[in-house]
Amino acid sequence: MFELLTAAGAPNLQVESRLAYSMGAPSVIEWGDAEQQERCLRAIATGERWCQLFSEPGAGSDLAAIDTRAVREQGGWRVTGQKVWTSMATSSQRGMLLARTDPAQPKHRGLTYFVIDLATPGVEIRPLRQITGEAEFSEVYLTDVHIPDTDRLGPVNAGWKVAMSTLTNERDMFGTKATESGPVELALTLYRERAGDDPALRARLVQLWLRGHVLRLYAARAAGRPSGAPGPQSSVSKVGFAELNKAGYELCLDLLGDEALLYDTYEPGELTAHSGTGAARDPRLLFLRSRANSIEGGTTEIMRNILAERVLGLPAEPRVDKDLPYSSLRRG
């Protein structure tokens, strides 16, 4: 449906508000009450942008180690902490926030999930300038931020389950955009312009196109599963997207030939969020940017662990801190 709407010129929420549409909306549908669904889904459908306030300086792959605290107060919660590597925070109106509400519980069980208004006093967003001059990511400081209890999504201390819904939908999101844009489209354009009739490059392009469509169809099938919420199989989409991007932009540079060595925008550019247009479409920039695809949104190593343990049923890695109170764990 969205492909047809986009082809007709309608705004594509999967691109313009992709975190709100692909991650926030499914979480609200699954965990929100009727009032939250009415309020949040209407805003998302009209283009409201959301960001994800999960990762912290000391909590990346081990997300359950987050230390941002939320303490009950009259009418809601007072939140203090720091988030980092937050995509599109500078252009978002709301954030999906995971905070610790009970340090006496084990680290996975004392978390609560909120949808926070980023205009709330005490929220400070500091863009992180990348080498390209963009500021796709930010660090976000929360200082005595009041969040109404009506903005809590899901039960108190059950935030880990809500966050897993958000993250599995994020991984499914990667597969759905495998052939809509990016390396497949760009490689096809460059091949038509430059490759002539090189059989080796043509074979690589065909393989890339096939991989992209297989990944997209896998994600579409996963989205239509009868069980509703996505499961650990969504990690396939995340791994596939990262590998497709890397292989695709490598092919783009090979199609450029000697021009792949020329990149004339090394000076810091305007401090803006990544837009996917203009200089951001330069295959040399995108080749460098794609190196991060196997890290952001869950590293490929973590994704393969999830698939091994939760899909294939292989023995899990030992986790000695799983049942210990968070307050007793050494950090730093």
Q: What is the pLDDT of residue 227?
A: 53
CATH number of the domain where residue 203 is located:
1.20.140.10
Would residue 329 count as lying in a domain?
no
> What pTM was computed for the model?
0.79
Q: If you average pLDDT over every residue of the chain, what do you get?
A: 85
Q: What is the pLDDT of residue 49?
A: 95
Which residues are paired to 73 by β-bridges? 76
124 noted as active-site residue:
no
DSSP state of 22: I
Q: State mean pLDDT over 143-160.
A: 97
- How far is 202 from 20, CA to CA, in rounded Å? 37
Q: Helix 199-223 and helix 183-190: axis angle, to 10°?
A: 160
Q: Render pLDDT for 3-33 as a digit per residue (tens, 0 to 9).
A: 666 677 666 666 668 899 889 999 999 999 9
- Asked if residue 113 and residue 235 are part of one domain, the reply reads no
Smallest CA-to-CA distance from 92 within 121, 134, 149, 52 is with 52
Number of domains the chain is built from: 2
pLDDT of 46 > 80? The answer is yes
Would residue 316 count as lying in a domain?
no
- Asked if residue 149 and residue 192 are part of one domain, the reply reads no
Q: What is the pLDDT of residue 276?
A: 41
- Asked if residue 269 and residue 121 are part of one domain, the reply reads no
C-alpha of 166 from chain center: 9
| Of 16, 170, 185, 317, catalytic | 170
Q: Give first-to-last CA distance, the chain, whole Å.
A: 47
Q: Render pLDDT for 286-327 as a digit per residue (tens, 0 to 9).
A: 888 888 888 887 888 988 998 898 888 999 888 888 888 998
Which of residues 138, 164, 190 is at a domain's end? 164
Percent of the chain with pLDDT over 70: 82
Would residue 326 count as lying in a domain?
no
